[in-house]
Amino acid sequence: MAECELIDKCPFFNKHLENDDETVALLKEKYCKTNNLNCARYMISIALGSEAVPEDLNPTEKIKAYEIISSS
């Protein structure tokens, strides 16, 4: 699958570039570079716009994403 189209502006992807630990690197590979449809940040961006995504939301936090989307 293709790289996420939000990759250039996504705080999660860009804020860790200097000091990627192994976990963050794996998340980038799994979500950002392979399947953004499973990413909590991407789900909110598509549903509500990128301004609705909490700065510190992790791509794995889908339940939190559902809550944010359903309560808006």
Q: What residue ranges bind ligand SF4 (CB under 6 A)?
A: 4, 6-7, 10, 12-13, 31-32, 36, 39, 41-42, 45, 59
Q: Which residue is it, tokens 């630990």?
A: 21
Nearest approach, Cβ of 66 to ligand SF4 (angstroms)?
15
How many CB atoms are closer than 10 A to CB 6?
19
| Residue 35 contacts residue 4 (beta carbons within 8 Å) | no
**Phi, psi for residue 65 in degrees, rounded to 5:** -65, -45
Nearest approach, Cβ of 25 to ligand SF4 (angstroms)?
12
CB of 4 or CB of 68, closer to ligand SF4:
4
